């Protein structure tokens, strides 16, 4: 009976082996790996939508080297699923390259698989620094890193906010409240390190679990630390909870979010007018100066046409921009996915800032990181998330009411 069961298991496997990949010469397959179920489903799917729009547009315009682009989807619902799916996409579906992934930990596992097999991996949304510092030369990232986020935040605090308060940067007191998964921890670490370099004082660091149902203790600790500003790194639910309880328990300091939950439509839906004034450092959002981000409006229209609703965050835009860069690179290699060719094409690329829908320039470093990608500072103003800093990209002045 053991045999029967084993045979059944094997035939299941053979089914998997056999039932895949009806290969057509007219098609150009690329793996698209995102967490589309599980706890990160919302923004994982949002990210995928951006890449999908880029694919549809490119195909309408004739595809790459005359071939139609096809995404082979994978679901990186957990870290181990990410590893399995990378194996499956590369070995079973024979995709010559993978793009994705939104989540840093999923990307780390999946890109490790791809790198060990010498398959190209394009990261369009995950921000952990470590993704491009492992010494692999088969990984490219189009979006800014956690370090870029910290740089932007510190620049904003020292160059705009400190003068506003009439303080020197060295007199600024900053607290960090971060969710304690890899995302929050790595961003908070990178911020602490850079703040030290800039002479900004970190007065307290408060890690918490993102799935918690109460953050009053974090607020009490923040109240005790008396910061001028709170740097928050949150997912969706905890971002809402933090702001709600900060308001309720009368935390005076303004909150400066870091992508994630603070830029979601659901954030303003939950907080209403109390969201007004919440700052956020993030990928390019939709109310950004069109001169800085040409093609932004067009993307918004496409999104509505394709998915029949407004985007939930800027993640789709970042993935749209990133996927287009990937397609451009493959266009240049003439449809070849050979890492050497990709590398040459990628290194030759040089797009100045202000020419893409996100406003990011494109210039890959030796490690595969796009050094011209940068996050912007946004602020909730009357229910809309508008870009307020730096000046070229802003559509409004930032404001802080004390």
Partner 1 sequence: MDLYAQVLVSGLLLGGVYALISIGLNLIFGVVRIINFAHGEMVMLSMYLTFWLNYFFGLDPYLSALIVLPVMFAFGFLFQLFVVQPILSTSATMKIFTTVGISLLLQNLALIMWKGDFRSVQTSYSMSSIEVFEIIISVPRLVAFGAALASIIFLYCFLKYTYMGKALRAIVEDHSVARLMGVSVEKHYLFAFGLGTMFTALGGVLLVPFSSVFPTVGITYTLVAFVVVVLGGLGSMSGTFLAGLFIGVVESFGGTFVSPALKEAIYFAIFILVLLVRPQGLFGQGKGTEEVGLK
Partner 2 sequence: MITKKLYVIGAFVFLLLLLIPLFFESTFVLHMYTLIFFYTALTAAWNIPAFGGQLSLGHASFFGIGAYAGAILYVKYGVSPWIGIAAAGAFAMLGGMVLSLPLIRLKGPFFTLASIAFAEVLRMIAIDWRSLTNGSVGINIPFKPALMNLTFQSGKPFYYISLTLAVVVVYLTYRIRYSALGFHLRAAASDDEAAKALGVNTSLAHFVALMWSSAITGVLGLFYVFYIYVLEPQTIFSLDLFSLQPALNGIIGGMGTVWGPVIGAVLMTPLGEFLRFYLGTIQQGLNYVVYGLVLVATVRFIPGGIVSLLAPMMKRKSAEKAAKPAIEKEAR
Q: Could you give the C-alpha distances from 195 to 164, 173, 221, 272, 350, in angstroms and in order?
A: 19, 11, 20, 32, 30
Q: CB under 5 to 8 A by kind: which of partner 1, partner 2, none does 220 bind?
A: partner 1
Residue 78 contact among partner 1, partner 2, none, beta carbon within 5 to 8 Å by kind = partner 2
Q: By CB under 8 A, tell whether 75 contacts partner 2.
A: yes
CB of 302 to partner 1, least distance (A): 20
Phi, psi (rounded to 5 degrees) for 27? -110, 150
Closer residue to partner 2, CB minimum distance, 11 or 216: 11
Q: How far is CA 114 from CA 33, 126, 139, in A?
A: 12, 16, 9
CB of 182 to partner 2, least distance (A): 5
218 near partner 2 (CB under 8 A): no
Question: Torsions phi, psi of 142, nearest 5?
Answer: -95, -20
Among the listed ranges 73-81, 283-291, 302-310, 371-379, the one in contact with partner 2 (CB under 8 A) is 73-81
Residues from 274 through 333 that contact partner 1 (CB under 8 A): 274, 312
Query: Residue 12 touches which of partner 1, partner 2, none (CB < 5 to 8 A by kind)?
Result: partner 2
Site string for partner 1, 203-242 (x = CB under 8 A): ---xxxx-xxxxxxxx-xx--x-----------xx--xx-
CA distance 191 to 233: 11
Largest pairwise CA distance in the chain:
80
Stretch that binds partner 1, among 192-200, 245-253, 295-303, 318-326 (CB under 8 A): 245-253
Q: Write the binding mask 114 to 143 for partner 2: x where contact by CB under 8 A, - elsewhere.
A: -xxx----------x-x---x---------
Distances (CA, A) of 327 to 127, 335, 370: 21, 9, 15
For residues 284-299, one letter each, b for 16 or more C-beta atoms within 10 angstroms of the residue's C-beta and e for the rest, the string is bbbbbbeebbebbeeb
Handedness of CA 13, 14, 15, 19 (dihedral sign): positive
DSSP three-state, residue 206: strand
Q: Which stretch binds partner 2 (CB under 8 A): 4-12, 163-171, 217-225, 271-279?
A: 4-12
Minimum separation from the CB atom of position 177 to partner 1 (A): 8
Distance from C-alpha of 67 to C-alpha of 333, rounded to nearest angstrom: 13
Q: DSSP state, 144?
A: P
Q: Which two tokens stand for residue 83?
A: 């590893």
- Asked if omega into 390 is within 30° of 0 (cis), the reply is yes
Cβ-contact 348, 368 below 8 angstroms: no
**Residue 270 contact among partner 2, partner 1, none, beta carbon within 5 to 8 Å by kind:** partner 1
In the bound state with partner 1, the residue whose beta carbon lies nearer, of 312 and 343, is 312
- Residues near partner 2 (CB under 8 A) are 1-3, 5-6, 8-9, 12-13, 15-17, 36-37, 41, 45, 73-75, 77-81, 83-85, 87-88, 90-92, 105, 108-109, 112, 115-117, 128, 130, 134, 180-182, 184-186, 189, 207, 209
- Residues near partner 1 (CB under 8 A) are 37, 39, 41-42, 45, 180, 206-209, 211-218, 220-221, 224, 236-237, 240-241, 244, 247-250, 261, 264, 266, 269-272, 274, 312
């Amino acid at each position: 009976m053991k045999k029967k069961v084993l045979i059944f298991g094997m035939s299941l496997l053979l089914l998997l082996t056999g039932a895949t990949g009806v290969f057509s010469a007219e098609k150009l397959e690329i793996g698209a790996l995102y967490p589309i179920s599980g706890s990160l489903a919302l923004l994982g799917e949002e990210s995928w939508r951006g890449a999908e729009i880029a694919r549809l547009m490119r195909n309408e315009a004739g595809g790459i080297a005359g071939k139609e682009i096809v995404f082979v989807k994978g679901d990186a619902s957990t870290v181990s699923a990410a590893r399995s799916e990378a194996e499956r996409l590369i070995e079973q579906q024979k995709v010559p390259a993978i793009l994705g992934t939104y989540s840093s930990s999923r990307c780390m596992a999946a890109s490790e698989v791809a790198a060990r097999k010498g398959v190209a991996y394009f990261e369009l949304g995950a921000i952990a620094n470590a993704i491009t510092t492992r010494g692999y030369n088969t990984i490219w990232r189009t979006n800014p890193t956690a370090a870029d986020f910290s740089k932007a935040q510190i620049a904003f605090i020292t160059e705009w906010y400190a003068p506003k308060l009439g303080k020197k940067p060295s007199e600024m007191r900053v607290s960090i409240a971060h969710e304690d998964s890899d995302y929050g921890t790595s961003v908070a670490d990178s911020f602490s390190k850079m703040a030290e370099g800039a002479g900004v004082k970190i007065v307290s660091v408060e890690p918490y679990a993102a799935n918690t149902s109460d953050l009053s203790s974090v607020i009490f600790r923040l109240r005790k630390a008396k910061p001028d500003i709170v740097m928050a790194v949150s997912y969706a639910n905890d971002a809402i909870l933090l702001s709600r309880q900060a308001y309720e328990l009368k935390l005076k300091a303004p909150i400066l979010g870091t992508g994630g939950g603070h830029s979601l439509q659901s954030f303003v839906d939950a907080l209403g007018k109390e969201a007004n004034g919440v700052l956020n450092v993030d990928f390019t959002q939709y109310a950004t100066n069109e001169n800085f981000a040409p093609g932004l409006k067009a993307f918004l229209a496409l999104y509505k046409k394709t998915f029949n609703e407004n985007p939930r965050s800027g993640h789709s835009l970042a993935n749209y921009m990133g996927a287009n860069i990937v397609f451009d690179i493959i266009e240049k290699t003439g449809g070849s996915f050979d890492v050497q060719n990709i590398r040459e094409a990628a290194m030759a690329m040089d797009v100045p800032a202000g020419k893409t829908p996100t406003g990011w320039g494109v210039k890959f470093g030796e490690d595969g990181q796009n050094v011209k990608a940068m996050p912007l500072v946004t602020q909730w103003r009357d229910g809309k998330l508008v870009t307020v800093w730096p000046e070229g990209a802003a559509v409004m002045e930032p404001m802080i009411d004390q």
